[in-house]
Amino acid sequence: MTRRIFSALLCLAWVTHGFAQTNTPVSAKAQAIHQSAIVVDTHADTPQRFLYENFDIGSSDPNDPGHISLDKARAGNLGAEFFSIWADPVTTKDHFARATFDMIDSVYQQAAKHPDRMMMAFSVADIERAHKEKKLAALMGIEGGHSIENDIHLLRDYYRLGVRYMTLSWSNTNEWADSSGDINNPKVEHHNGLTDFGKQVVLEMNRMGMMVDISHVADKTFYDAIAVSRAPVIASHSSARALTNHPRNMTDDMLRAVAKNGGVVQVNFFNAFVDDSYLQQSEAQKPEREAAVAAAIEKLKASGKTVTYLDYDQQEREWAAKIPRPPLKSLIDHIDHIAKVAGIDHVGLGSDFDGVSGATPQGIDSAADLPKITQALLDRGYSEADIHKVLGGNLLRVFTEVERVSRQMQTETAK
């Protein structure tokens, strides 16, 4: 989830072409490599659509502008998706937990509706089983520590409901973790990274086997988390700051720290995070865009409408359409950079599908286009084994280690 208000940047037109069209040919060799991988994406905001738009993931509407559907997942051999559970800090203020539970329920409802093609998954073993059964493994990650309402009991309840990662903060600093989204806002009370309670949260996540996600957090929160965590961390949807200078992206020093920690950085596809020219145009547009979006939202509120994420999204799409999409090369450059700086064992895919108002690079219109990434990596000389690591192998290794550390910590506690 990337959004206005805090760091608004945006996005692309509501593209209306069918997902089967391709403008980058994928060779038989690339297709074979892609189809033999367990492809894991660690961030999609589709639950906003499930909940607020009544979107059915089984939809086969060729004009649907969304990034994810079961058909698109199948076409792109997407094996596992971590659906983002995001309680909007503005529109769900004062009931974050309820918003979180509603979002979790929306994922289960989709899986219940399509048992032949989709299954809830809570472990590496589940992902592998789903792959064998040719079903999409649906996992969940909470985006933003504000969802736990400063209550460790709620954190444990979320784990029991199946949540397998939590992003320590979204774009808003919460009571225990500073965010990159408002770190320079003097009106926000900051904590110099993680508070003592925040450190307890990280350790409890380690103990339960919930992955610690450092996307969105302030740099100091990142270093605190990596120092405290007993298990490898993930960045569920973050790109490289050396290439695109945005505070949501990770510096080379951070990339090396993740490598040392054994974790993985899952590259975000959002245009403003992977392409400097796009980012600059988006920043230039920002004052006018934010004022226009705010005015449009006020108008909706005045008419008595309950404003949701989708209302913002629609506005943002119109503004994104004014900026040309960057080439796919921009996204591949980020994968390549992280592979060079952190190592091939520490990079993966965290699309931010359905969370960026359509603003993805040319050729990437949905999950069906994932094979183009394999083709592009192959063109750059990556081996089949290395491509498989990027497509999902690295994330599965980290998840396995998180599960192992959890078992170990629970044995220690039991003694």
User: Of the ranges 1-9, 14-22, 122-130, 187-195, which one interacts with Zn ion (CB under 5 A)?
Assistant: 1-9
Q: Which of 1, 39, 138, 201 binds Zn ion (CB under 5 A)?
A: 1
Q: Which residues lie below 8 Å from residue 233, measured CB to CB, with a gap of 6+? A: 211, 212, 213, 214, 225, 226, 258, 261, 263
Quick one: 266 or 406, whose CB is closer to Zn ion? 266
Quick one: 1 or 274, whose CB is closer to Zn ion? 1
Closest approach, Cβ 2 to Zn ion, in A, equals 5
Q: Identify whether the C-beta of residue 250 lies closer than 8 Å to the C-beta of residue 240.
A: yes
Q: Identify whether the C-beta of residue 146 lies closer than 8 Å to the C-beta of residue 170.
A: yes
Closest approach, Cβ 338 to Zn ion, in A, equals 17
Beta bridge partners of 347: 265
Which residue minimizes CB distance to Zn ion?
1
Residues within window 310-349 making contact with Zn ion, judged by CB under 5 A: none
Per-residue CA distances from 198 to 61, 176, 210, 260 (Å): 43, 5, 14, 22
Closest approach, Cβ 56 to Zn ion, in A, equals 24
Quick one: 278 or 382, whose CB is closer to Zn ion? 278
Closest approach, Cβ 12 to Zn ion, in A, equals 17
Residues within window 275-294 making contact with Zn ion, judged by CB under 5 A: none
Closest approach, Cβ 143 to Zn ion, in A, equals 6
261 token code pair: 């920690």
**Number of residues this chain uses to bind Zn ion (CB under 5 A):** 1
Quick one: 1 or 51, whose CB is closer to Zn ion? 1
272 binds Zn ion (CB under 5 A): no
Quick one: 1 or 78, whose CB is closer to Zn ion? 1
Quick one: 206 or 266, whose CB is closer to Zn ion? 266
State the amino acid at position 26 in one-letter form.
Answer: V
Which positions touch Zn ion (CB under 5 A)? 1
